[in-house]
Amino acid sequence: MNLGLNGKTALVTASSKGIGKAVAEELASEGCNVAICSRTKVDLESTADDLKRKYGVDISWSVCDLNKSADIENTFNVVVKQFGKIDILVNNCGGPLSGFFRDFSEEQWILAFEQVFLSAVRFTNLAISGMINKQWGRIVNITSVSVKQPIDNLILSNSFRSGVIGFAKSLSNEFAKYNITVNNVAPGYTLTNRLYDLAVGRAKHSGLSHEEVLADMAKQVPMNRLARPEEIGALVTFLCSNQAGYITGNTIHIDGGWVKGLF
């Protein structure tokens, strides 16, 4: 299937590793010029080189802490300077701290709000005018299955990711007339550095090895395995395609059947 993405420009945030990198890679494989950003220059350079070598597309990278409004503006300016436009915006972020209600100070709540929710608002605010002018745009937010089924020790994620869903639904209604779609992808357990670190952390407290912790996670999934990052990337890329032009305002979970509810 030709997804019609050749020559489009995609900005994928928090994308030097993990799901963000996998999304950037799938979009590059469809011929998109891709902009990546995260906090660490050396990781960005290595990811950019990797994508350029494999797919021969143009890659832009910039150091950006999603908690900092000035960094977000700088990233936007770098991308527009290099590519002249942003057709596709994929709002991804680092996962907020894990913990229960009484574990967090007000300051930590504010940091998680900025990272998970406000970063998506800020990037969208910068990118939306260009999409309106072109009468074409795709916005995809990477959230989590926690928006369908909250996870016990992830109260920061549970709280702010649901806000992203409400934000996206409102945007989808407001901007559909400009041929701009807005959707959310909600991954389940996906084998990235973050999940690996989480398993190592849990292993320390449980007396299990991290391999056993990962195997336990997989057992909770009807598919009996963890997701591969590229599977998330493929779904996001389809949502960005011309073929997906009538899908908007949706939250699609990709979790091997982990969510027990109907929707």
139 strand-pairing partners: 89, 182
Least separation in angstroms between residue 143's CB and ligand NAD is: 7
**Interface residue list for ligand NAD (CB under 6 A):** 14-20, 38-40, 64-67, 92-95, 115, 142, 144, 187, 189-190, 192-195
Answer for the pair 20, 61: CB distance below 8 angstroms, yes or no. no
CB of 111 to ligand NAD, least distance (A): 9
Of 146 and 181, CB closest to ligand NAD: 146
**Residue pointed to by tokens 């020559």:** 7
| Residue 11 backbone phi and psi in degrees, to 5 | -105, 120
Beta carbon nearer to ligand NAD, 136 or 147: 147
Buried b (16+ CB within 10 A) or exposed e, 129-154: ebbeeeebbbbbbbbbbbbbbeeeeb
Residue 33 Cβ, how far from ligand NAD at the closest point, in Å?
A: 19
What is the closest distance, in whole angstroms, from the C-beta atom of residue 113 to ligand NAD in the complex? 13
Tokens of 140: 């995809």
Least separation in angstroms between CB 2 and ligand NAD? 28
Measured from the CB atom, is 6 or 110 closer to ligand NAD?
110
Q: Which is nearer to ligand NAD, 132 or 215 (CB)?
A: 215
Quick one: angle between helices 18-29 and 41-55, nearest 10? 30
Q: Which is closer to ligand NAD, CB of 175 or CB of 189?
A: 189
CB 6 to ligand NAD: min, Å = 26
Shortest spacing between CB 7 and ligand NAD, in angstroms: 26
> Of 54 and 228, which has the nearer Cβ to ligand NAD?
228
Cβ-in-10-Å burial (0-12, 13-18, 19+) of 93 comes to: buried
Q: Which C-beta is closer to ligand NAD: that of 85 or that of 194? A: 194
